[in-house]
Amino acid sequence: MRILRVPGVYCSQGDTWLLRRALQDARLPAARRVLDIGTGTGALALAAAAGGAQDVTAVDVSPAARLNARLNAWAHGLPVRVLPGDALSRDYGRPFDLVLANPPYVPAESGQVPTRGRARAWDAGGDGRAIIDRLCDRVPDLVAPRGSLLMVQSELADVDATLLRLRGLGMKAAVVDRQVLAFGPVLRGRREMLHRNGFLAPDQRHEELVVIRADRAE
């Protein structure tokens, strides 16, 4: 499926495609109610709709990303509802059978999460967990009984902490896919800072991305 990208929108890359692969491998039943958090180009929302989901909601704070997702949904004739705002603050009325999330997870020099600009697609505070922790805490409300979360993150943002947080909230959580990739432009640009702050080994040039699946009991 060809995904169009308008200027200023996060480019779908390795983490997006890893999560899409996990979605396909999960073989979840069709006709599900799906939420895509931080949709960007809409690539994951479209994958869910193309897989048979009949009720797909995509949310993003960026007007350009929302336009991009709508254009891609229109181009492929797929039923995706695109909503504005912070996906983790919205009231959706009822929970979802599946939540997809590719949240910001890159540790930054500043502990503050940016509120504008392209960096808000990847900067996640000093430890890379500012958005991940919020997401984990919201998951029990967002996921319906017998529903699931599929989320991608980097090893740099402490995968074990995510698993423990989700399990502590009553979810069954495990890593279901992983891939080692060469640093992209963002990590190359802040490699010295990440090494200084203990996130990277001196000669490290690759990171491991993982997909975490969390299931809610019936």
Quick one: pLDDT band at residue 209, thresholds 50, 70, 90? Answer: very high
Quick one: pLDDT band at residue 31, thresholds 50, 70, 90? Answer: low
* Amino acid (one-letter) located at 175: V
Structural contact between residues 115 and 109, judged by C-beta atoms closer than 8 angstroms? no
> Per-residue pLDDT tens for 19-30?
999 999 987 776
State the average pLDDT over residues 184-195: 89
First-to-final CA distance of the chain: 34
Quick one: pLDDT band at residue 102, thresholds 50, 70, 90? Answer: very high
Cα–Cα distance between 50 and 106 in angstroms, integer?
30
Predicted confidence at residue 30, as pLDDT, reads 64
Quick one: pLDDT band at residue 10, thresholds 50, 70, 90? Answer: confident
Copy the structure tokens of residue 22: 């996990």
**pLDDT at 81 exceeding the cut of 80:** yes
> Per-residue pLDDT tens for 142-177?
999 999 999 999 999 999 999 999 999 999 999 999
Model-level pTM?
Answer: 0.93
Cα–Cα distance between 97 and 102 in angstroms, integer?
17
Cα–Cα distance between 73 and 82 in angstroms, integer?
9
**pLDDT at 214 exceeding the cut of 80:** yes
The domain spans of the chain are 14-216
Q: Which CATH architecture has domain 14-216?
A: 3-Layer(aba) Sandwich (3.40)
State the average pLDDT over residues 108-133: 83
**pLDDT at 129 exceeding the cut of 60:** yes
